[in-house]
Amino acid sequence: MSKIAADASDDVIKDPKKLEKYIKDRCSSTGGKEHRFCYYIGALPESASYIMNEVVRPLGWSMPPEKVCSRLKEKDGQICELRYDKSIDWKTVDLKKLKVKDLRKILDDWGETCRACSEKSDFIARVEELKPKHVREEL
């Protein structure tokens, strides 16, 4: 929710209809935990519940996303229980110190697979091989 509040322009946030459309458009192209959040608030066509108004109105009033989350907890407790993964700092990370589970998760997030990987060294080699394709180096 804080990403939505930070990325939306001021004129979008002030108009509830525009903000609702912005959230729905953004949710149509998300995946993972963000997709689940969109499902919970009703921003997806297949959502079981619809509490978009409970999200849009407070954000329009410039209420902090944390406060909106605490209010939404009364309606649907699952929304605030979503935990997002920490991003990896590729400049300082030592792949040899990561667990195989984390290496698999990196590959899964990239949409890649590692066929015939049976050891940690195989996963590390695959991540190193795909790293230039998926990780942007800042100059």
Per-residue pLDDT tens over the stretch 82-138: 766 677 888 888 999 999 999 998 998 888 988 889 999 999 999 999 998 888 765
* CATH 1.10.720 domain residues, the chain: 95-134
Span 95-134: which CATH code?
A: 1.10.720
Rounded-to-integer distance, Cα 52 and Cα 101, Å: 35
Place of tokens 């920490």: 86
**CB 23 within 8 Å of CB 4:** yes
* Nearest CA among 12, 6, 43 for reference residue 28: 43
Pick the CATH number of 2-81 from 1.10.645.10, 1.10.540.10, 1.10.225.10, 3.90.650.10: 1.10.225.10
pLDDT band at residue 139 using 50, 70 and 90 as cut-offs: very low
